[in-house]
Amino acid sequence: MDATRLAMDYAFSVLNMHKIYLVVDKENEKAVHVYKKVGFMVEGELLDEFFVDGNYHNAIRMCMFQKAYFGTK
């Protein structure tokens, strides 16, 4: 989680980004939990977004805005 927070701090403090986002496998509950814990929110679900082991999988797009990051830091 420290690496995630470090990357977020760099994105918002140094690069002055307004918004950052990520895409994660919907079935990866541990990753989704970690991202929510550091402040990301679910923006939407991408249906059949990627193909692995003969099956299509849905993904979740999560984001955080700079204002929210500095409000929760």
Structural domains in the chain?
2-72 (3.40.630.30)
Closest CA to 23 of 3, 43, 53, 52: 43
Which residue out of 21, 35, 56, 69 is catalytically annotated? 35
pLDDT digits (tens, 9 = 90+) for 8-45: 999 999 999 999 999 999 999 999 999 999 999 999 99
DSSP structure class, residue 41: E
- Residue 35 known to be catalytic: yes
Residue scoring higher pLDDT (71 or 60): 60
CA of 56: how far to CAs of 18, 21, 27, 49, 61, in Å? 32, 22, 12, 7, 16
Tokens standing for 58? 């849905």
Cβ-based neighbours of 58, under 8 Å, separated by 6 or more: 25, 26, 27, 45, 46, 47, 48, 49
